[in-house]
Amino acid sequence: MEDQVLFTRFHAAFDVEPPPGAFANLGAALVQQPVRAPRRAWFRFELRPEVRRVVAAVALIAIIAAAVGAFLAISHYVHRNVPIHVPKVTATATCSQGFRMYSATEGWQGSESHTSDGGLSWQINVPTVANQSKGFAECTVDALHAWTAMAVGSPPTAATGMVVLETADGGTTWQQRGSVPASGFYPGAELEFINDQVGWFLVDSAGASRKLYVTVDGGYHWSDVGAAGLDNVARGCSESGMIFVSSDRGWLTWDCTNGPKSGTGSPGGAVVAVTSNGGHSWTPVPLTGMPSDLICSAHAPLFTGTAGVMPMVCTSNAQPAWAGVYRTDDAGLTWTLGVPPFQLADLYEVSFADASDGFALAGSQGLYGLYKTTNSGQTWTVVKKAVFVSQDIPQLQFVDTNVGFAATSSSQGGLWQTTDGGLTWGLPGHRVIAGNIGCPAPSTPGSGAAPLPVLMASATTGWAVGALHTTDSGLHWSSPRIPSPPDQSAGYAEYFLDADHAWVVEAAGSARACADHVVVFSTADGGATWQQMGSVAVPGATLGDVIWGQQPSSASPFSERGGAPSLSFVDPLHGWMEVMVCGQTFMDCPISELLYRTGDGGATWSLLVNETAGSGPCSLPTGIVFSSVTTGWGPLGGCGSSGGPIAVTHDGGLTWTPQPLDVGSCCDGGPLFIDAVNGVVLGSTTSSGAADDLLTTSDGGVTWTMQSVPALGIDPTNESYTLDDFGFSSPSEGWMLYTIWGPTQVTYRLYHTADGGKTWKRINEPIPPQPGSETNFPTPNFYFLDANLGFISSGTDLFRTTDGGRTWTRLSVTVN
Amino acid sequence: MQGTLTLDRPSDELVGAARAGDGAAFAELLQPEYRAAYGLAHSLLHNASDAEDAVQEAAFKAWRKLGNLRQGAPLRPWFLAIVANQCRTHRRRKAWPGQTEERPAEPVTAPPDITAALDLKRAVARLPYDQQLILHLRFSLDLPFEEIALTLGITPKAARTRVERSVQRLRPILSPKEQTG
């Protein structure tokens, strides 16, 4: 019997109303962009009234199109369409869209993202045009050359044309080339180039005939080919690919998802059409053996000389249901179906390096085998029975018979690489565990940026993020010499108790899990020496899971204060560690949350709470701080909506109780306890979630008193603000740092209170750092030891004040 | 049953007008299905803007292919199938390496137990796409197995089996006290 709870829970979790006006927008777009009507009425000589209306509408559209065309022709007279003589050439390249590597190191994702290091890093350059509308096409022909076409129109829901842009330097710079007319809300478009000069551009505008344009000068000028029969080949279907192998011979493929199949009237099927005269006329290609009742999509054919292959994948909406590879030996005049030996229903991805050699990923989601053919798909052999275990959405591409690339859900932003034809795969820059799962790289807090002071124990001695230590007031910082545990993974936390005592926790894994235990290090001599303390196995971490020492989203900008929120010590012996087990993506986090306690400085840890996401009462807060051996605090986020926004424990972390506060939500950066009894917390009573309320306690959190926050005096219609950092050095002395977003500039403001938050004064002198441009500026963080001595870090520079922020000195910092 | 057509004009007339290129007629035809389509897209894409785009793109595809809708056949499963395919395409595009899966903060109407909702979202997100889809069709849109079958192009029995299998995959991540099924 079905569980009715599931209905309730799904509705509670997923019910969502469309944004106001969403359907109105769609309706307006539909009304603006009529889809081409069937044409059978044109056979009548005497037009019926409704047909006359259609004729009138078409005429009107034609007039509008002509007007638009005239406008475009005038405005782009340099790029006017003229009859073009297409030179007789054979393709030196074929166009690709999506993820495409052209060598072991260079390639593209689409035309906007380019790599020169095998996918380890990607440079993203998105070209833009004025009045950009919906509609897009792209084409890359080699490691450097790419074209992209964008629909333009005003309003943006109504395209009036498509503008072509070209890059010849791997996307670093884009130049606008020619344009062609287009109409519709989302005109279909396909670009194909066979070298850096000759290309075709198919535009499928709603309410107008398909048009095929050709260029022989790299996209500056486009001429209407005058394609005949193009409209009748796959009416109602979406083009899925276009390839030319010479200036004469080319193929077009259409995805006829639920669409008609030309000549038969039956639904479904892919349609392939061929031209032998540069696109002037098109005829359907007969393909035997293809099911007619499924949704089929043909890959663009791939040729080596006269031999070619064309993979075909059909689905039943839910999953691949049929697949095959068609091959030709006569340059595409006739095609023969080859059948892979694996379960056709499981074919997921096919990539041919040339017309003979291809690879296929076949299997259900989570378990794929890699297969290989050397005869255009007539026979297949197993390369590897299981690759990319438990991963989703693999993408596969082979540059040649040895070098291949794949993208999966554990690619960590990179690309899997093989140099031995798929036998072994590596993920550059990342550790790989069983099942070809890529693990996140270890955290490197504090590296590559100006030190961010966390705790200054005196005017000269203190700690910064990354367990950096200074003894000369922040001029020189020493990096910790902490040995990396074997199989170190992402996940890091640190806590600084005083000038001498600090702890660092690093996550580590095994051959089976990216992270399944944490290793604790501590120092009692100001970082001069570090000792490995406990190694704690984390239950519940499974294949591919990772461990976060703190929230991966870094939601709180104040997480560094008093140490990372997942680690808290009240003296050299007593501490707590909160571990969050997450899957590979943000949506998979957390799987479970665990709270440990130590009474011997971190040598041994006992598990206090193991809360599997969704299983418990949601009582364990995230980001705990302890004010004594027995009492601790932490924000519950949405968990405590019924009982209070924060939770408190009075038994050392065993049990947690929600505590009401006079704020709707909290707690950015806290609660912060200045000592055992005095603490502050920021919360919000507004729906915006802005930290607009400050509460203080002087009795260890038994009672909280609402204080004030600085009055910014901004114009809410033109300005907004964000709170970047706040902190108290004593129960009375506190600071708040804001970024003010004005209509033309961004500024920082520092406010100070000397009476525990009752009143605030702006420190009027300009504070370093100052913002750069509006799109590139640092988020500053500060630390005040007392009413006078403080630091501000911009991320690139460290500044110090000795007069409460009125003047600042930039420090010439060294880190080693 | 959700989604019963409530139209100012008879649906056959609307279909005819829409096939003839009348955008207003097609919009009227889609209106009763829009909420379900948007809800499905939002559940699968986790982003309001992406969901709106996906439904719009699906709507135009559907309009172009309206000639394939058999006379008398229900519009909703046919349209939801196109939406689901559009979402699959959208997710594949988003899954290219280096392309971050942005999920910007959106205004949330807090459900009674926001944590349980988040946990369920995370649990569902761990499932393969097809299982997510069938769970949303069943438990978010309350579709009967017959309509799920029409949407996915499978038999009602297969729809029931796949729902049950997907629930089995989901249960270990749900609360033990709720594993009653």
Contact B96 A37 (CB under 8 A): no
Contact B64 A238 (CB under 8 A): yes
Share of chain B above pLDDT 70, in %: 56
pLDDT of A574 higher than 80: yes
Which secondary structure element, helix H or strand E, spans residue A65, and what is its range?
helix A49-75
The top-scoring range by mean pLDDT among A630-644, A682-696, B123-137 is B123-137
pLDDT score recorded for residue A500: 93
Contact B154 A395 (CB under 8 A): no
Least Cα separation, residue B134 to chain A (angstroms): 9
Distance from the Cα of residue A509 to its chain's centroid: 25
Enumerate the residues of chain B whose CB falls inside 8 A of the CB of residue A110.
96
Residues A202, A300: Cα–Cα separation, whole Å:
15
Give the model's confidence band at A586: pLDDT under 50 very low, under 70 low, under 90 confident, else very high. very low
Contact A366 B167 (CB under 8 A): no
Residue A342: phi and psi, rounded to 5, are -80, 170
pLDDT of B112 higher than 60: no
Whole-angstrom CA distances from A775 to A716, A740, A798 are 21, 14, 21
Distance between the two ends of chain B, CA-based, in angstroms?
23
Give the model's confidence band at A760: pLDDT under 50 very low, under 70 low, under 90 confident, else very high. very high
Q: Does B106 touch chain A (CB under 8 A)?
A: no
Contact B128 A317 (CB under 8 A): no
Give tens-digit pLDDT for A271-311.
788 888 999 988 888 888 877 666 666 777 777 777 888 88
Please state whether A491 falls in left (phi above 0), alpha (psi between -120 and 50) or beta: left
For an interface test with B, the pick among A2, A3, A6, A411 (most B C-beta atoms closer than 10 Å) comes out as: A6
Check residue A86 and report its DSSP letter.
P
Q: Which residue has the higher pLDDT, A199 or B109?
A: A199
Q: Does B76 touch chain A (CB under 8 A)?
A: no
Residues A250, A815: Cα–Cα separation, whole Å:
61
Check residue A38 and report its DSSP letter.
P
Give the model's confidence band at A243: pLDDT under 50 very low, under 70 low, under 90 confident, else very high. confident
Report, as an integer, the average pLDDT of A711-738: 81
Q: Does B140 touch chain A (CB under 8 A)?
A: yes
Give the model's confidence band at A516: pLDDT under 50 very low, under 70 low, under 90 confident, else very high. confident
pLDDT score recorded for residue A75: 42
Contact B95 A392 (CB under 8 A): yes
Give the model's confidence band at A32: pLDDT under 50 very low, under 70 low, under 90 confident, else very high. low
Q: Which two tokens stand for residue A670?
A: 């806290």
Least Cα separation, residue A22 to chain B (angstroms): 7
pLDDT score recorded for residue B122: 65
Give the model's confidence band at A533: pLDDT under 50 very low, under 70 low, under 90 confident, else very high. very high
Least Cα separation, residue B24 to chain A (angstroms): 5
Which secondary structure element, helix H or strand E, spans residue A551, and what is its range?
none
pLDDT score recorded for residue A240: 67
pLDDT of A191 higher than 80: yes
Of A318, A407, A414, the CB nearest to B153: A318
Q: Which residue of A has its CA nearest to B111?
A: A12
Enumerate the residues of chain B whose CB falls inside 8 A of the CB of residue A319.
130
Q: Does B97 touch chain A (CB under 8 A)?
A: yes
pLDDT of A100 higher than 60: yes
pLDDT score recorded for residue A273: 84
Say which range, A52-61, A155-164, B93-102, has the weakest mean pLDDT: B93-102
The CB density around residue A528, as the number of other CB atoms within 10 Å, is 12
For an interface test with A, the pick among B64, B88, B137 (most A C-beta atoms closer than 10 Å) comes out as: B64
Which secondary structure element, helix H or strand E, spans residue A387, and what is its range?
strand A381-387
Report, as an integer, the average pLDDT of B123-149: 80
Q: Which residue has the higher pLDDT, A603 or A411?
A: A603
Number of DSSP helices (H) and strands (E) in chain A, helices first: 4, 61
Enumerate the residues of chain B whose CB falls inside 8 A of the CB of residue A641.
110, 114
Q: Does B172 touch chain A (CB under 8 A)?
A: no
Contact A36 B21 (CB under 8 A): yes
Strands A476-477 and A814-815: parallel
Least Cα separation, residue A752 to chain B (angstroms): 31
Q: Which residue of B has its CA nearest to A37?
A: B20
pLDDT of A265 higher than 60: no
CB A780 within 8 A of CB A724: yes
pLDDT score recorded for residue A38: 30
Report, as an integer, the average pLDDT of A43-60: 44
Give the model's confidence band at A583: pLDDT under 50 very low, under 70 low, under 90 confident, else very high. low
Q: Does B24 touch chain A (CB under 8 A)?
A: yes
pLDDT score recorded for residue A289: 80
Q: Give me the residue label for tokens 């199938």.
A: B81
CB A428 within 8 A of CB A414: yes
pLDDT of A549 higher than 50: no
Radius of gyration of chain A (CA): 32
Share of chain A above pLDDT 70, in %: 69
Say which range, A46-55, A83-92, A504-513, A761-770, has the weakest mean pLDDT: A46-55
Q: Which residue of B has its CA nearest to A33?
A: B23
Q: Which residue has the higher pLDDT, A32 or B48?
A: B48
Report, as an integer, the average pLDDT of A51-57: 51
Q: Which residue has the higher pLDDT, A95 or A430?
A: A430
Radius of gyration of chain B (CA): 17
Contact B21 A57 (CB under 8 A): yes
CB A767 within 8 A of CB A724: no
Of A16, A27, A316, the CB nearest to B42: A16
Residues A804, A789: Cα–Cα separation, whole Å:
6
Contact B140 A10 (CB under 8 A): yes
pLDDT score recorded for residue A326: 87
Residues B99, A369: Cα–Cα separation, whole Å:
26
Give DSSP secondary structure letters for A137-196.
EEEE-SSS-EEEEEEE-SSTTSEEEEEEEEESSTTSS-EEEEEEEEEESS-EEEEEESSS
Residue A99 half-sphere exposure toward CB, CA atoms < 13 A: 27
Share of chain A above pLDDT 90, in %: 17
pLDDT score recorded for residue B2: 29
Enumerate the residues of chain B whose CB falls inside 8 A of the CB of residue A206.
60, 64
Distance from the Cα of residue A575 to its chain's centroid: 36
pTM for the structure as a whole: 0.62
Q: Which residue intervals of chain B are DSSP H helices?
A: 11-19, 23-45, 48-64, 75-94, 114-125, 129-135, 145-152, 156-170
Whole-complex ipTM? 0.81
pLDDT score recorded for residue A556: 27
pLDDT score recorded for residue A30: 77
- The whole-chain average pLDDT of chain A stands at 75
Q: Does B1 touch chain A (CB under 8 A)?
A: no
Say which range, A80-94, A459-473, A661-675, A757-771, has the weakest mean pLDDT: A80-94
Enumerate the residues of chain A whose CB falls inside 8 A of the CB of residue B178.
3, 5, 9
Q: Does B165 touch chain A (CB under 8 A)?
A: no
Enumerate the residues of chain B whose CB falls inside 8 A of the CB of residue A35.
21, 23, 26, 60, 63-64, 66
